[in-house]
Structure 1
Amino acid sequence: MAQKLIIVESPAKANTIKKFLGRGYKVEATMGHIKDLPKSQLGVDIENNFEPKYITIRGKGEVINKLKKEAKNADKIFLATDPDREGEAISWHLANTLNIDKGSLCRIEFNEITSQAVKKAVNNPRTINMNLVDAQQARRILDRIVGYNISPLLWRKVKKGLSAGRVQSVATRIVCEREEEINNFIPQEYWNISANFLSPSSNQIFEAMFYGTQTKKLELKNEEEVNGLLEDLKKAVYTVKNIKKGTKRRNAAPPFTTSTLQQEAYRKLGFTTKKTMMIAQQLYEGIEIEGEGAVGLITYMRTDSTRISSEAQSQARTYIKNNYGDQYVPETPNKYKTKGKTQDAHEGVRPTSIDREPERVKDSLSRDQYRLYKLIYNRFLASQMTAAIYETMTINIKGGDYIFKAKGSRKMFPGYTVIYQEGNDDGREEKDTDINLPKLSENEVLELKTLNPSQHFTQAPPRYTEASLVKTLEELGIGRPSTYAPTISTIITRGYVVREGRNLVPTELGTLVNDLMIEFFNNIVDYKFTADMEEKLDKIEEGNEIWQNILADFYRPFKESLDHADKNIKKVEIADEESDEICEKCGARMVIKTGRYGKFLACPNFPDCRNTKPFVEKLDISCPKCNGQVVVRRTKKGRRFYGCENYPECDFVSWNMPSNKKCPICDSFMIVKKDRNGKENYLCSNKDCRYKMEEGQ
């Protein structure tokens, strides 16, 4: 019997596709790329028009032999790798390896792994898109040229093990510049004045904020100004000058793109970008659902488009009508504008079936799979619903020459908010509570009850989180959907940036390397230059640029910068920080070094003495269980937690920063410091004790 062979990247994807096709099909997986540039050398012939030297990836020989054997027995081969540049490049390497005519109709693609999508793709094969392949090659070779030339230079001049990359170096610069901004920030004093007024007609007290005079807003900069103003305000007679009523519509956010999915999963679920993409890949490739078998639950998750197919939109509208009512269905389907230059080949990220509700499939998913799927499902469903409508009211209150303003709002119709609220960078959802004001009439005289001046200081810009860094990279046009997660993982793994709570903080090493990159390779870390390069890669994909020409234009000035740096960068000595630990093998005081997995202790007499130990950061805090010393530890993913130095004999651990304070209620348990909702609170570590104290109490 004639057999058709379909080749995909992963076994999970293969298992899902198998169930949609009959006996005449066999599905095999490559386990990712099968060929790449060699790790041991540059692998690019600069003089021969940037000809790449591809080799079989170590460990893939057995996979290739199996594919060759299956290919011989097949009368037709379909290459069904992911629908993007990387997927196209894998198909191209497969075609070369299996001697498939690249001009033949061998390539199939689908945006979702469903029966309908897979069968439609099989019936509509196309040729390999060499523009996509060339765009991938150009990016790969470009990144190889940068990494394999600058990294050895950093090894020679600074320290072994360092690396530089085209996008990672820009990401490091963004984090470093924010830290510099924070360090140089000078707080500015300002004051607010709130007032409580009594409305005699309604017998209600309400709050209003000082605005200024009747002609302009006043900025209150110091206590002297405020005290002078308070004397005038106390003497004034207050009346309602005017009341402005209106309605405000708040539209739903669009379906997820890769970037917004990563941002929202970080804000709401606490997922790193890497974890989000790993779980999304599982949901895309297929999960064993009870009663259904392997099912792809979401569309392809690497996309910067918010476009949704008319079929999916129609199904969502029907679902909303049946489950929420006609008033939740917009008269015409919602359309969303995309920001900047968007690759519109794929849809936004959505569930493959609106009828496959999160609760229905919950028992077949892991906890994290369920949480991410629910996030994607609810966001998509909300994006197809009507706007939330609010009644707004602004009351201008006149007192002499001065104006106070009171603002209120009331939700009249919830619209999409019955399902979904966007998150903020601090992990909270948007506030959506009513602010009610009393019924007032114009010219009504009000009674001033209290004036409440409050001193404030302007705040430094916040450090980047993974969510806000992804957002910034996207806004600057740096990188593409597939690059955000690996870029952030790389700068953390290299020790240029560390996570402190939710924040990304540059290390001393990261700052040093960034300074060198700015001085000697300014183009590489220039925001506009990097964004322009992304546009050139897009033009290659569109068939409007030749990839070798783009590389040649880049390489000439890059080589000049490289030669200049090699001659002018002076050897930088990074002195190792001494620790209090004594090497038990030779008696030397051990030093703190930074490796791929963070800090560790090493003997300074290397290579004569090769003794190393884990680095433990000790805090001046006693363990509440055994009175040992509390130390800082890190998970494999770099998240900080706190434990006892006497582990494993003592099992004390806490995710929250400990304190030496004792709980006044239960005494035996210490209080831990927890940053929550922007405030630092002391919480009792005893789960049975609910004592809480704000800092300063």
Structure 2
Amino acid sequence: MAKKKTTKKKTGGAASKGRRSQSIKVADAKGKHLVIVESPTKAKTINKYLGSDYLVMASVGHVRDLPSRNPKGVKNPVPGVNLEQQFEPTYEILPDKKKTVSELKKAAKYADDVWFATDLDREGEAIAWHLAHALDIDLEGAKRVVFNAITKTEIERAFHHPRPIDENRVNAQQARRIVDRIVGYQVSPLLWKKVAGGLSAGRVQSVAVRLVVEREREIDAFIPDESWRLGALMATDPSEAPKLGELWQAFLDGATENGRTVKEQNAWLSEHAVLRAELVGIDDADVKNADEQQILDVAKRLGYELEKLDVVEDPKGKGPAKQLKTAIGVVSASPPDYAIESIATKRTTSKPGAPFITSSLQQAAANRYSFALQRTMRVAQQLYEGIDLGGARGQTGLITYMRTDSTHLAPEAIAAARDHIGSAYGDDYLPEKPNYYSSSNKSAQEAHEAIRPTDVTVRPSDIRGKLNEDQFKLYDLIWKRFVSCQMTPAKWDATTVSIRADLNPGSAKLRASGRKLVFDGFYRVTGVPQSDDVILPELSEGQKVAPLDIKPTQHFTAPPPRYTEASLQKKLEEEGIGRPSTYAAIIQTIQDRKYVEPLMPRDRRLCATDLGMVVTDMLIEAFPEILNVAYTREMESQLDHIEDERNDWHQMVAAFYEPFAVQLEKAHEELTHAKAVTEPAPHKCEQCGADTVYRFGKNGRFLSCSRYPDCKYAAPIDREGNPQSPEMTDILCPEDGKPMIRRTGRFGPFLAASTYPEVKFILKLDPKKGHVVLPKTPPMLTGITCPKCEERELYLRESKRGPWLSCSGFPKCRGRAAWSSLDEEKQAELEKKWAEHQKENPVPEIRTASGRVLKEGDDYIPEIAGSEEPAGSVVARDDAA
């Protein structure tokens, strides 16, 4: 008991210290202007530019929202939204913001006036509106300031021109929030009833999932078309062709198992003055879609001797792609005559890209650095709110507001960029007039300006030591894009070489091309992009050339590519779904809900899960209009009309809700439960020989005997719907020494002993990255009562940072205690017990089949070894109920 009191006393002391610190701020508010922002970092940066007459405090985001549940005794289907009284919302102070609101109220009481300096988008306007209500401040007298960048000039301008809170913008945000609340709270119970418990639905998120599902089905239904092409390598000195042919083959044979890259090949061709050409015509006929026999016939006439045609059956291929063919042959000893027929050089230009908006920044960071969308926005927020650069600069906002869909640049920003370009790179890199860019999004509403550096003279290289790696990468990207957008285009000389082969009779035409950078222009800042272009040697018309290699190749049309986070975000923007502030959250949410997932660990491509497909099909059946992309786009337009044209938000919500309520009631009555739906499968039951069907269970789709429950055969399936053999890995079970099997349970993927149930050892796999999570010593009870629940004992665990204490009742109780809070005697006693505990619970050594011992931090992803064992591991039969 004494120990318990000591813990309470320490906790209380810390809280008291925090309250004393805050009360000093409240006292300091007397006679001053109180400025409220969202972020403490933003507050710190702004405070630098405002004088001693101002006190800047942070709300740390929203302080009010719709309640998550109804009060006791109230049975409202949508908590916080009165469906009977024009959807009027009831807001409450967020539980973790009550203290913040209390302190802001005290400060507002002492201050002369209150200024709301929240972000300049709808969300920021809504935060200001909620703060005014929470602090009992008259909306008409509220002073709202907005700025696109946290700089001295922008802050001074904003505070000299305050405006009222824009209630039309607030109403637009409020309408969105209420519609999303209605969908979430009324569609989610439908999914619990018809699919599985714990699922959730969202108005925009569900449409994003639909896009991924439809792309997945496009890929599944795609049948490729086959075509053949003929390429040739030409020696510019015909006498050297045989020798170069041998060198080229030796070069290819000396590659790693992945082969020579295009860049390596082009470097070799340039070094040896060899042209890479492709057949474009034969006897004046086009060969664009030639078939196998046509190309092989032409190849023979061009001097190619076919030795054999390798054919490999691809069981996963569709249509003609089931047979992969490789032509193997050599150039004949006496090929026809080849000569340069014409050489045409054309000057081309590459123009710089527009300055970044939210979507293009997210796409560039994803493509260049593999940043997830949320990671990009988190780092951009840090750059916007301010970084401590030290010295005279101190806390400095480095970029303008990062949630924007406008490519507009302020005149002073353009002037600063042009001054920098002229002085740093010279007049050749400075266009006569500034470059202006129009936004591809015609409804650009969210901010006034593109994302750019607040001060172009602050070069990334100058402040690298003040930024972490992510901050530097993103600032460097933004700075270079901004400067380059005001520079001259790059200039290329693109050369096309036409080669004629005299076949007697007839002729063939081949084409080679290459280009050379003659003026780098904006590439001076961004760097010249990697190119697959070949540097052409000096050539002249009529010059004789000879083939050193001729290659007929099989090609197939490709299915539409799977979405990545960046390309899905681009699609949402093109369709007018969502806004700059919502893209990252939408795409993260659909992954968190397990409707969409990476195709493979560490693969940026996204695919729809079985759950995502089932939920999407059910929602489309129940709400065909709401799940329609065009409808979602129209709703975004209606929200814009509320903001811009002062349309009544109540009418907009009512127009949505009336048909929605009818469809919802019908869906509850008529929709078939997902587990009752079966789909014929092209396989036979391995136990009784009957036909099989696909069913949906808690772990996704699986194969089941059509005679269930008389026959209880069930098996997991792969992405193509084929029965899946157990995936034997290269990780050896430490208990029986046999390879472990990769399985998936309700908590994600894991490795299980192949001899289960005799051996029940399992290993967890990281659910996102797929690497082995090494076993640890189990936690040890300490005899110390949890300071939070005051019922259960604390566990002692070990981590990289040392020992730590947490409640043994987790997750019901999340109480914790610091190891440092224990006195030295108690620490020594527990350390002794922990050593004994470790001896009693030794951690098994995890090895791979090659003998490698896995260590903490290896992040080893198990390799899947082919298994000859028959498919048919049983899926829990309650899935098929």
Question: Shared fold (TM-score greater than 0.5)?
Answer: yes
Tell me which structure has the larger Cα radius of gyration. Answer: 2
* 2-structure distance, mates of 1:540, 1:215: 62
Structure 1 Cα separation of the partners of residues 362 and 81 of structure 2: 34
User: 1:383 aligns to what?
Assistant: 485
Aligned mates of 2:414, 2:626 — CA distance in 1: 42
**Of 16, 20, 39, which residue of structure 1 is paired with 2:49?**
20
Contact 1:107 / 1:126 at 8 angstroms: preserved in 2?
yes
**Who is 1:240 aligned against?**
340
1:446 Cα offset (Å): 3.7
Deviation at residue 232 of structure 1 after TM alignment: 3.2
Partner AA of 2:771 in structure 1: F
- The structure-2 alpha-carbon separation of the partners of 1:79 and 1:246, relative to structure 1 and needing over 3 Å to count, comes to same
Counterpart among 499, 507, 511 of residue 609 in structure 2 = 507
Partner of 1:5, secondary structure, is: strand
Q: Which residue of 2 aligns with 1:227?
A: 296
1:261 to 347, 352, 361: 361
Residue 353 (str. 1) matches residue 455 (str. 2)? yes
Q: Distance in 2 between matches of 1:37 and 1:243?
A: 71
1:199-240 Cα distance to aligned partner (Å, 9 max, x none):
359984312111124766323453222122223334754443
Aligned to 2:414: 313
Is 1:112 the equivalent of 2:149? yes
| Distance in 1 separating the partners of 2:465 and 2:111 | 39
Give the drift of 1:394. Answer: 1.0
Partner of 2:9: none
| Bigger mean CA offset, 451-460 vs 246-255 | 451-460
8 Å CA contact 2:146, 2:158 repeated in 1:
yes
**Structure 1 residues 132 and 155: alpha-carbon distance in aligned structure 2, compared to 1, 3 A threshold:** same
Q: Choose the corresponding residue for 1:640, options 770, 795, 806.
A: 770
What is the aligned partner in structure 2 of residue 559 from structure 1?
Answer: 661
After superposition, the C-alpha distances for 1:353-402 in whole angstroms (9 at most, x for unaligned) are 11222222222222222222222222222222221111001122233443
The equivalent of 1:686 in structure 2 is none
The counterpart of 1:122, out of the listed 146, 156, 159, is 159
Contact 1:623 1:644 in 2 (8 A): no
Letter in 2 for 1:283: L
The one-letter amino acid of 1:7's match is I
Which deviations, in whole Å up to 9, do the C-alpha atoms of 1:454-507 show, x marking residues without a partner? 122233322211111111111111111111111111111111112232121211
Query: Helix, strand or coil: the match of 1:461?
Result: coil
Equivalence for 2:135? 98
Counterpart check, 1:83 vs 2:100: no
* Aligned match for 2:400, one of 289, 296, 299: 299
Asked if the contact 2:280/2:510 (under 8 Å) is kept, the reply is yes
Q: 1:677: which partner in 2? A: none
AA of the residue aligned to 2:368: K
| Structure 2 partner of 1:687 | none
Corresponding letter in the other structure for 1:306:
T
**Residues 765 and 773 of structure 2 are in contact (CA less than 8 Å); yes or no, is this contact kept in structure 1?**
no
Residue 288 (1) aligns with residue 379 (2): no
SS state of the match for residue 47, structure 1?
coil
Kindly report which structure 2 residues correspond to 1:182-261, keeping only aligned pairs within 5 A, or say none: 182-200=219-237, 204-213=273-282, 217-234=286-303, 237-261=337-361
SS at match of 1:479: coil
Aligned equivalents of 2:549 and 2:50: distance in 1?
Answer: 75
Give the equivalent residue in structure 1 for 2:730.
622
Bigger shift: residues 498-507 or 482-491 = 498-507
2:212 to 175, 179, 185: 175
| 1:9 equivalenced with 2:38 (yes/no) | yes
Residues paired across the two proteins, number: 618
Closer/same/farther in 2, CA of residues 648 and 462 from structure 1, 3 Å limit:
farther
What is the one-letter code of the residue matched to 2:405?
Answer: D
1:405 aligned to which of 480, 486, 511 = 511
How has the CA–CA distance of structure 1 residues 201 and 366 changed in structure 2, closer, same or farther, with 3 Å as cutoff? same
TM-score norm. by structure 2 comes to 0.66
Residue 528 of structure 1 aligns to which amino acid in structure 2? A
Instruction: Tell me, in whole angstroms, the C-alpha distance in 2 between the residues paired with 1:436 and 1:176.
Output: 43
Q: Give the whole-Å Cα distance in 2 for the aligned partners of 1:656 and 1:252.
A: 42
How far apart, CA to CA, are the structure 2 residues paired with 1:649 and 1:199? Answer: 62
1:70 to 104, 107, 117: 107
CA contact (8 A) 1:622 1:628 kept: no
Residues 642, 628 of structure 1: alpha-carbon distance in 2 compared, 3 angstrom cutoff: farther
**Residue of structure 2 in register with 1:494 after alignment:** 593
Aligned-pair CA distance for 1:435: 2.2
Could you report, residue by residue, the CA deviation over 1:300-332 in whole angstroms, capped at 9, with x for unpaired residues? 110011111111121122222222222222221
User: Measured at CA, do residues 416 and 480 of structure 1 come closer, stay the same or move farther in structure 2, by a change above 3 Å?
Assistant: same
Provide closer, same or farther for how the CA distance between residues 221 and 361 of structure 1 changes in structure 2, counting only shifts above 3 A: same
* CA shift for structure 1 position 11: 1.0
* Post-superposition CA distance 1:426-446 (Å, at most 9, x none): xxxx53365222333344444
Q: Secondary structure at the match of 1:19?
A: helix
Cα deviation, 1:252-310, whole Å, max 9, x if unaligned, reads: 11111111111111222222111111111111111222212221111111001111111
Structure 1 position 437 matched with structure 2 position 536: yes
Give, in whole Å, the separation in 1 of the partners of 2:508 and 2:859. Answer: 50
Deviation string, structure 1 residues 579-621 (Cα, Å, up to 9, x no partner): xxxxxxxxxxxxx9679xxxxxxxxxxxxxxxxxxxxx99523
SS of equivalent to 2:771: strand
Cα distance in 1, alignment partners of residues 138 and 344 from structure 2:
71
Cα distance in structure 1, aligned partners of 2:515 and 2:283: 24
Please, which moves more after superposition, 159-168 or 535-544? 535-544
**Structure 2 counterpart of 1:321, one-letter code:** G
- Does 1:340 find its partner at 2:441? yes
1:58 aligned partner = 95
Spell out the pairing of 1:500-539 with structure 2 (5 A cutoff): 500=600, 501-539=603-641
Shift of residue 85 of structure 1?
Answer: 0.3
Shift of residue 568, structure 1, vs aligned partner? 0.9
Paired residue for 1:466, among 565, 572, 576? 565
Q: Which runs of 5+ in 1 are unaligned?
A: 423-429, 576-591, 596-616, 662-697
Summarize the Cα distance change of 1:214–1:229 in structure 2 as closer, same or farther, 3 Å threshold.
closer
Alpha-carbon contact 1:104-1:126 (below 8 Å) kept: no
The separation in 2 between residues aligned to 1:355 and 1:532, in whole angstroms, is: 43
Superposed displacement of residue 412, structure 1: 0.7
> Structure 1: how far apart are the matches of 2:41 and 2:296?
70
Change (3 A) 1:193 1:375: same
- Report the equivalent of 1:680: none
Instruction: State the alpha-carbon separation in 2 of the partners of residues 470 and 532 from structure 1.
Output: 18
Q: Which residue of 2 aligns with 1:678?
A: none
In 2: Cα distance, 1:450 partner to 1:86 partner: 62
* Contact 2:196–2:698 (CA under 8 A) maintained in structure 1: no
**Counterpart in 1 of 2:376?**
276
Q: Give the secondary structure class of the aligned counterpart of 1:180.
A: helix
2:872 paired residue number: none
Contact 1:495 1:594 in 2 (8 A): no
Q: Give me the TM-score of the superposition, normalised by structure 1.
A: 0.83
Instruction: Report the residue type matching 1:523 in the other structure.
Output: E
| Separation in 1, partners of 2:497, 2:732 | 54
Conservation of the 8 A alpha-carbon contact between 2:494 and 2:515: yes
| Percentage of pairs with the same residue | 42
Distance in 1 separating the partners of 2:349 and 2:486: 15
Identify the match of residue 553 of structure 2 among 439, 454, 463.
454
Q: How far apart in 2 are the matches of 1:384 and 1:353? A: 15
- Superposed displacement of residue 512, structure 1: 0.6
